[in-house]
Chain A
Amino acid sequence: DTGVSQDPRHKITKRGQNVTFRCDPISEHNRLYWYRQTLGQGPEFLTYFQNEAQLEKSRLLSDRFSAERPKGSFSTLEIQRTEQGDSAMYLCASSLGGTGDLEQYFGPGTRLTVT
């Protein structure tokens, strides 16, 4: 069990550019979540997958955001035409889901800075 990993850890981009983040969950976990955390706030739910199916998306996830989990393992979160308001920490978490454990294991996050 190597834990949840995220890549990159930091990303600086110019406004208008596209960025993509990757999350590798704990291998046997079937649920994967994306959260966004801005300074001084708690994490806010963005979207989640059960295996490869995206089951829920928050209204925070505008049309510029897209997430995939093509083979039910790793996931990517893409932000198109970035805006300064997108600057935040993007957190990924995974869980066994439906087994009664309910614990979500978080990765270290990807800090995005849009200049």
Chain B
Amino acid sequence: QSALTQPRSVSGSPGQSVTISCTGTSSDVGGYNYVSWYQQHPGKAPKLMIYDVSKRPSGVPDRFSGSKSGNTASLTISGLQAEDEADYYCCSYAGSYVFGTGTKVTVL
């Protein structure tokens, strides 16, 4: 199983929107609605931000949203804030679990 493909980095100014893509195949992202997204600050454990493609856990700001089209899932951060600067990983079920390559979000 290959890791899901994410852009290495994305950036935006405070208040702007950024979108992170997560590209897989019909055997993972495209085949199941079990896509989740995790935020990881340096030296910290990952934190769940989105589950089941587009659902947001309690406590996660509504500026975080998820979607999926075909074999590509996306995480959008609207109204970017300084504390959103972190690494983000997608994860999909594929008979087992496969994570994305990770994206560093930089707030300019």
A binds B: no
A residues near B, CB below 8 A? none
